[in-house]
Amino acid sequence: MKKVLITGSAGLIGSEAAKFFAEKGFHIYGIDNNMRQYFFGKEASTKWNQKLLEKKLSQKYTHFSVDIRNAKKIEAIFKKYRFDLIIHTAAQPSHDWAVREPLTDFSVNAYATLILLENFRKYSPEATFIFTSTNKVYGDTPNTLPLIEMETRYELPKNHRYYKGIDETMTIDNSIHSIFGASKVAADIMVQEYGKYFGLNTTVFRGGCLTGPAHSGTKLHGFLAYLIKCIATAKKYTIFGYKGKQVRDNIHSYDLVNAFYHVYKAPRQGEAYNMGGSRHSNVSMLEAIKKAETILGKKAKIEYIDKPRIGDHIWYVSDVSKFQKHYPKWNFTYNGDQIIEEICKYGHFTQ
C-alpha cells in the first residue's frame, strides 16, 4: 500500500487530501496537533475534523499529534515510514495573527517546512513533495493594478494582461507582504530550491481562497466559510476597507486536492503554480453576502471599518493556465455558486 504523509491533516485541505488519497488506495499518515485552536481560539479547533477522519478512514489512517517544528519527532516518523507522497498544508495562515508572534509564525511556516524538506530528502527522496503556499507571496503588488470601481466589485479593464488572472510572472519583490506573507515566501522558495538544486520532485501551489464545508472558519482566517457561518448564526461580520468590493477567487478543496493527484502521477521538479478559482469562480464580499443571504434566507449583520488590513488584496484572481498547460486533464468541478451553496448546506456550523 502506498503511503502519504499529510501535515495539517485535520484542516481544510489536509482532511480533503486524506479522504481523496484514501479512496485511491493510500494509507494516510496525518500530522496535526490542533495548533489552529492556539492561533484562533476554540471556534477554529480542528479536533472535530480529526475525529471524523479517524471514524471514516479507520484502519487507513494513522494520526500523529506532533508539532511540525519538533525536528526529532518529525525525523522519527520519516525514519519509520518510507513515503510515496508528502502533502504539506500545516501553517499559521493569518496576516493579523502573524504580527502578534512573528517568531512563532516564521518557525511554523518557514523553519518547519525546512525540517520536512530535509527529512524528505534524506529518507523518502523518491517521493513527491507538495506545498500549499499562498498568493500573498506577491505582497500588495496586485493593488498597483489599474482597478476600476464598479457597483459591487473592483475589476480590471478587459484588455489588461492580467484580466484573465494573475500569473506566476508577477514579481514577489518590493512590496508589503505582511509578516505572514514573508514567512510563506521563505518556505515557497525553499520548496522550489529543493526541487531544482537536489533534483527532487517538489511542487508549490500559490493558493487564492481555498475553501469548502470542512473549513473551520474564524475571524482572522477563512473568509467565505466564516462569512457564511456569521450569516447563518446571526453573528456580526466585519468588512475591512475597500467598501466590501474586494474580489477573491475561491477554489473548492476537492479541486485543489485533485490537482495534487495530477502532480503525483506526473511530478516535476521545483515548479510553482498559481491556483485559485480563476475567472471560473470569483466573488466580491458584497456579492458573496448577497448570495449567502439568498440561500440561507437570513440577513447579514455587517460592521464596516474603513481601514483595510496591511497587505490585503483589493482584487485577486488566479491565472491557472500554467498548471492547465502542464496538466491538461485537470479541470474545475465546482463553480463559485456551487461552493457557496455547499458551505451553506454542509458547513462546520451545521454540525
Per DSSP, the residues of 114-138 read: HHHHHHHHHH-TTSEEEEEEEGGGG
**DSSP string for residues in 282-328:** EEEHHHHHHHHHHHHT---EEEEES-PPTT--SEE-B--HHHHHH-T
CATH number at residue 237: 3.40.50.720
What's phi and psi for 6, nearest 5 deg?
A: -125, 115
The mean pLDDT value for 20-24 works out to 98
Q: Of all residues in the chain, what percent carry a pLDDT higher than 70?
A: 97
Whether residue 10 contacts residue 66, with contact meaning beta carbons closer than 8 Å, is answered with no
Tens of pLDDT, residue by residue over 34-66, are: 999 999 888 888 999 999 999 999 999 999 999
pLDDT value of position 351: 47
State mean pLDDT over 97-103: 96
Name residues whose C-beta falls within 8 Å of residue 209's C-beta, 6 or more positions apart in sequence.
Answer: 223, 224, 248, 249, 250, 251, 276, 277
Q: How confident is the model at residue 96 (pLDDT cuts 50, 70, 90)?
A: confident
177 with 136: CB under 8 angstroms?
Answer: yes
Mind listing the pLDDT tens digit for each residue in 140-150? 999 999 999 99
3-state helix, strand, coil in the chain (%, to 5): 45, 20, 35
Answer whether 31's CB lies under 8 Å from 9's CB. yes
Domain region containing 43 = 3-350
pLDDT at 218: 66
Q: Give tens-digit pLDDT for 254-303.
A: 999 999 999 999 999 999 999 999 999 999 999 999 999 999 999 999 99
Give the three-class secondary structure for 80. Answer: helix
Q: How many domains does the chain have?
A: 1
Task: Tell me how far apart the alpha carbons of residues 140 and 138 are, in angstroms, rounded to a whole number.
Answer: 6
pLDDT in tens, 111-153: 999 999 999 999 999 999 999 999 999 999 999 999 999 999 9
